[in-house]
Structure 1
Amino acid sequence: MAAHVLADAVWPAVPSGALVLVPVGSTEQHGPHLPLDTDTVVARAVVQRTADALPGSWVAPPITYGASGEHAHFPGTVSIGHEALCAVVVELTRSLSLWAGRVVFVNGHGGNTAALDTALGLLRAEGHDIAWTGCGTPGGDAHAGRTETSLMLHLDPERVRLDAAVAGDTRPVADLLPDLVAHGVRAVSPTGVLGDPAGACAEEGRRTMDAMVSAAIRRIGGWTVDDRGRLADPARRPEAVRP
């Protein structure tokens, strides 16, 4: 069953009490080979396919700007920061709650995590029936490497510039984190890539997308939410976070 798309609807067709899924992305550099809206494309695809599997659910327009300060030194990046993103999520939820039932934010950018934790903690304290979940995959590389390149080759191959793809810093995120927090991505990777796109392919991207969607469906179905609004996955360990 195809999901209902809020942007395409007329108001009499929108029921009260519906489950609404909101993609949360970013507009930020993704190396010399991937488009600036990569995180938004991935989050929107996860939401669309998850909603297809959940009868009666609705797909909201994506939040296309996020907290991307770590990428600020690359032209093209547009970041609204943690406070502004938090305010957007709070006000969107308060508005949606006037007619919707449960609301789930599906996040495609690791830098948005702090804002989502803060916003949903506040909103759940207000009594809103909401949660959020991410699009990370265990074992995936950090940013604009093989994982995201494969996803984009699956979702939007005409916008991937494989001839421009280069390897970046391939150390684990945990090793990079102090420098990323202190100095941003450009200090550790002049190309903006954290990982290596080599070997990326559409089939790998399809498998990764399937895993993301399956995880989102499990989490929403289980509806176990912590005090930060995060949905737990009963089948997997906590997901990797991508900058």
Structure 2
Amino acid sequence: MRLTDATWPDIRPQTFGGAAPVLVLPVGALEQHGPHLPLDTDAVTATAVAAAVADARPRAALAPTLPIGASGEHADFPGTLSIGSDALRQLIVEVVRSSTPTLSAVMVVNGHGGNVDALRSAAELCTAEGRTLLPHHLGLPGMDAHAGRTETSLMLHLAPERVRLDHAEPGNTAPVRELLAEMKAHGVRGVSPNGVLGDPTGASATEGAELFARLRDRAIAAFDGLTE
């Protein structure tokens, strides 16, 4: 069920297969994704995966997407908006506090790596308060870092009309672990003038569909682990 379609009497165990519902909350970012992908790429992916979880599991209550996260590393690129880790952490904590005990737990489907620290800290606080928050970060072995072949393929599958393939070009293809120190000091612009970490060459909707299916199945498994 999508919370935006519900009325308050709908939020009861009988509507969710007889069990207390679990909130599924997509969290993204609004930040540069190279010259070829839209600023909300992370939110698009997180929203699609979270919706797939809600479609597959009747106990899931799908929340509206939080579209802005912690994206300070992209601040040098026009269009990027960020609320920072501290504000994101508090926002997530307040969502969890307000949703429980009516909803038994919260699973965050996170589409942006820069949100990881905030979500980890929020989960620790929620655990200390006796609440359940599971951050689930979208990722697969072999995925490139940012606006490369992986994200371009996913967007060609999810929203092909929004991909500007004629503007796609390689960025810095070095492993992210080799770039972290420079990125912490000078942001993504310091290591990649076009904002791409990877190479979108060869991206396709077919590959994107395969990647999405793996992300979806992994998220459903995480939801099942939370509710079993």
User: In structure 1, what residue type is equivalent to 2:220?
Assistant: I
User: In structure 2, what residue type is equivalent to 1:70?
Assistant: E
Q: Post-superposition shift, 1:220?
A: 2.1
Check if 1:160 corresponds to 2:157. Answer: no
Check if 1:82 corresponds to 2:71. Answer: no
Task: Find the counterpart in structure 2 of residue 10 from structure 1.
Answer: 7
2:215 maps to which of 212, 216, 220? 212
Give, in whole Å, the separation in 2 of the partners of 1:48 and 1:222.
18
TM-score normalized by structure 1?
Answer: 0.89
User: In structure 1, what residue type is equivalent to 2:23?
Assistant: V
Give, in whole Å, the separation in 1 of the partners of 2:168 and 2:86.
33
User: In structure 2, what residue type is equivalent to 1:35?
Assistant: P
TM-score normalized by structure 2?
Answer: 0.94
1:143 maps to which of 141, 146, 161? 146
User: In structure 1, what residue type is equivalent to 2:190?
Assistant: A
Aligned length: 221
Q: Is contact 2:3–2:61 with CA below 8 Å preserved after alignment?
A: yes
Give, in whole Å, the separation in 1 of the partners of 2:10 and 2:193.
49
* Aligned CA-pair RMSD: 1.2
* Equivalences for residues 17-96 of structure 1 within 5 A: 17-96=20-99
CA deviation vs aligned residue, 1:30-74 (integer Å, no higher than 9, x gap): 001000000000000010111211122111001111000000000
Q: Post-superposition shift, 1:146?
A: 0.3
Instruction: Give the fraction of aligned pairs with identical amino acids, expressed as a percent.
Output: 54
Q: Is contact 2:26–2:47 with CA below 8 Å preserved after alignment?
A: yes
CA deviation vs aligned residue, 1:149-193 (integer Å, no higher than 9, x gap): 000000000000000111100011111111111110001111000
User: In structure 1, what residue type is equivalent to 2:93?
Assistant: V
The unaligned stretches of length 5 or more in structure 2 are: 14-19
Higher share of residues assigned helix: 2
